[in-house]
Amino acid sequence: MSKLVLGLLLFATQLSGPGSTLPQVLQPEFKAAGPAGPMKAGQTGEVTVSFNLLKGFAINHKPPISLKLTKVSGVTLAKTDFATPTEDPKSKDEYYVDLPSIKVPVTATKAGKYDIPGKLTYFFCSKTDGFCSRQVLDVKIPVVVQ
């Protein structure tokens, strides 16, 4: 009995020990622009969220990549929940061939720097070992308004 308990403890330690966290396989990039260049106060601009994927991994298109934003003072968001398309015409399986981007319409009442917090959720698989998981990433969308 004590060997069984010791074995279970060793197993649990390996799962929860240092270095046991999953790698962050999807890195978001943010680019903000207004209708004619930099974002201007009082005008609606757009933040494009694009993604870089760690080599050796694939991102599922079902369920899609989702972004849930939290409203901040001084910034108006037309909506706070976004998702990528669940279909990829180039795909022959459940993974995106080309990662889509998310467009976030933003209006700031006055000039300044804003950080819009949010949660990015996606499902990925390792191409080498077939391991799949869900990741939730805290993000802050930087917005500079003139």
Q: Using CA atoms, how far apart are residues 83 and 133, in angstroms rounded to an integer?
A: 18
1-51 per-position pLDDT tens digit: 544 333 333 333 334 434 446 788 999 999 988 777 789 999 999 999 999
Cα of first residue to Cα of last residue in the chain, in angstroms, is 69
pLDDT for the residue numbered 35: 77
For residues 59-71, average pLDDT: 95
Q: Using CA atoms, how far apart are residues 135 and 53, in angstroms rounded to an integer?
A: 13
Joined together, the tokens standing for residue 5 give 């308990």
pLDDT for the residue numbered 18: 43
Whether 50 contacts 26, CB under 8 Å: no
pLDDT for the residue numbered 1: 52
Handedness of CA 134, 140, 20, 11 (dihedral sign): negative
pLDDT for the residue numbered 13: 38
Q: Model pTM?
A: 0.81
pLDDT for the residue numbered 36: 72
113-145 per-position pLDDT tens digit: 999 999 999 999 998 888 999 999 999 999 999
Dihedral (C-alpha) 90, 91, 95, 96: value to the nearest 10 degrees?
A: 10
Question: Which residues, including other chains, have CB under 8 Å from residue 123's CB and lie 6 or more apart?
Answer: 59, 60, 63, 132, 133, 134, 135
pLDDT for the residue numbered 57: 95
Q: Using CA atoms, how far apart are residues 146 and 143, in angstroms rounded to an integer?
A: 10
Helical segments of 1-146, H only: 2-16
Polymer length in residues for the chain:
146
Of 104 and 22, the structure prediction assigns the larger pLDDT to 104
Of 83 and 33, the structure prediction assigns the larger pLDDT to 83
With a cut of 60, say whether residue 92 has pLDDT above it: yes
